[in-house]
Amino acid sequence: MQEIVCPNCGEDENLRGDSKESRKTEKVTVICETCEIKWERDLTPRCPLCGSEDLRTALRSIVDKSRGTQLSIQSLTVVYLCPDCDAEELTVWNQSNTPLPPNELPYDIE
């Protein structure tokens, strides 16, 4: 996920987004509550490695422990895969058409 920071003061926590204020649905107006600057954030997905907008959608499972150490799929999330940078995962998705495994598994805090 791309970190969002104010282009004016560098604030990264005291930000507010408003999609109603934006004229286009693929953009969100972001307001920095520190310096009160407004800017539009483009919601077009881009590859974080190469910047390409030519991405494919896939599903990734989110798992949690349901009983003891048994893992169960709790939900699914949409992920965007770059044909160049995520070629391996994209191949798995295209061949199986089942949700991709999670990036992280839950663990016990001791």
pTM over 0.85: no
CB 58 within 8 A of CB 77: no
Nearest by Cα to 38 from 54, 55, 18: 18
Give residue 3's pLDDT. 74
3-state helix, strand, coil in the chain (%, to 5): 10, 35, 55
pLDDT for the residue 110:
54
pLDDT above 90: residue 17: no
What's the mean pLDDT when you consider all of the chain? 85
- For residues 44 and 34, the answer to whether their CB atoms sit within 8 Å is no
